[in-house]
Chain A
């Protein structure tokens, strides 16, 4: 079946360092979304990418969608303690259903 993998599974960084998580799908995605889940919280939508090769920025966060629409990345510049949480990518399969496949997630810990 379709799988969406993320690496790394865990990442500890010192505050101020950069962080990147990578998302890889076994199938082509029509679009990809990114979510953040704070410890003890629920996933919150960050952004959606639709076009092949698309790059979007939100302040210190940069999101990319691969040319083949099978991979994506999230890069955080100069991490802050507020960036702590688990970052998930998610994409709908092309079956015409409303089925979002979530990645395995990357848990980020920022050390002050």
Chain B
């Protein structure tokens, strides 16, 4: 139990489907992140939110749409994905603001397969 919960743990979707990944943190943190981890690439930062405000969009395609309704919840809305989007999507949170000196707490990830 990391204090960061992700659902679903596994998701299979077609290219025309619309689905969402959910992340919830119980640590009282103010910053939340989405990372993508695929077999051939290191952890890729996708989005960063601080106090519900998006502070970073790392050139992510618009078929990925994040939403952060409050500091404890983070969503990643998925639509018209491509097979190459199949990966492990990791949510993380951290406490520190400013230059981000706090450790990241990761959820267990959502394994996405796009057919």
Interface residues, chain A, with chain B CB atoms under 8 Å away? 30-31, 33, 35, 41-45, 48, 50, 88, 90, 92, 94, 96-105
In angstroms, Cα B58 to Cα A56, docked, is: 32
Interface size class of B (residues with CB under 8 A): 20 to 34
Q: Which residues of A contact B105 (CB under 8 A)?
A: 45
Please name the residue on chain A nearest to B41 by beta carbon: A104
CB within 8 Å of A: which B21-54 residues: 31, 33, 35, 42-43, 45, 48, 50
Interface residues, chain B, with chain A CB atoms under 8 Å away? 2, 31, 33, 35, 42-43, 45, 48, 50, 55-56, 58, 90, 94, 97-101, 103-109
**Given A43-B90, A88-B42, A105-B42, CB of A100 within 8 Å of CB of B100:** yes
**Given A98-B100, A100-B100, CB of A44 within 8 Å of CB of B45:** no
